Amino acid sequence: MGAVVTTFAFLPPDRQQAKLKEHASTVYVTSEAGDSIPILRVGSLRSHDDLVLIYCHGNAEDLGQIRLLLQDLADRLNLPVFGFDYPGYGTASGKPSEAGCFAAAKAVWRHVRGLAPSARIILYGRSLGSGPAVHLAAGGADGEERRASGLVLQSPLCSGIGTVLGKPGEVMLKHIDVMRNIDLMASVRCPVCIIHGTDDGVVPVSHGRRLDAIARRHAVWTHEPLWLQGYGHNNMPWDQCANHVEDFLAVLRCTEEEG
């Protein structure tokens, strides 16, 4: 049954198209699961960078499809942005699974930490990508001392089964569920910023609201969430989303300076 859930939870795009879109600056790391994971860095990594960002993309997309989005983020936020693919996505080896996805995210974290040991890492997870982002922010990287400095969640899910069956499904089918952010969110201590469309038919906005409520109780502080009226899952207004993230990072920087 768990294999069935995994099959429906992970929907990688056509791999042939991904190979055609592979960017020249992509590097590969090997995860603890033994998968070869592509990482694309957009923006120069400078010695004075105080922040770097790891972007965890959504379902049915890969690095080739989000390259321009990563470039825009790097330009707007004036920081290096790292994107990567999950096993079975793009040019990554392996088969899609929650464990493989989390192992890939951890490998990317360690790669980025090795390149920028003094920089603070911001995690950005969209939709399915909220799973690995929350996993890392909750301490799934290198332990308590290496937790993220900020977490951005766009259209996040409470759990995989919960997106289809709601809260009853989360409870009754917990043993076969995937991406259970609802269980991990209380362990996230870094600042949190959540963005969600009110008319999301894929991951209902109630998921974002529930995660925001948990973050408000446990995170060091939370940015005012952005509930985008009338928008769905795949038609989010990018300018508004990016501007909100920019505001979040500005507050984060000021808070760190005051601290």
* Catalytic positions, written as ranges: 127, 200, 233
Distance, CA of 211 to chain centre: 14
Measured CA to CA, the distance from residue 23 to residue 39 in angstroms comes to 10
Burial class (CB in 10 A: 0-12, 13-18, 19+), 258: exposed
E strand or H helix at 49: none
Measured CA to CA, the distance from residue 196 to residue 213 in angstroms comes to 14
What is each CA distance from 218 to 17, 66, 133, 186, 211, in whole angstroms? 42, 32, 17, 6, 11
Burial class (CB in 10 A: 0-12, 13-18, 19+), 135: buried
Please name which of 137, 187, 177 lies closest in space to residue 157, comparing C-alpha atoms: 177
Cβ count within 10 A of residue 9: 23
Please name which of 1, 11, 48 lies closest in space to residue 202, comparing C-alpha atoms: 11
Cβ count within 10 A of residue 17: 12
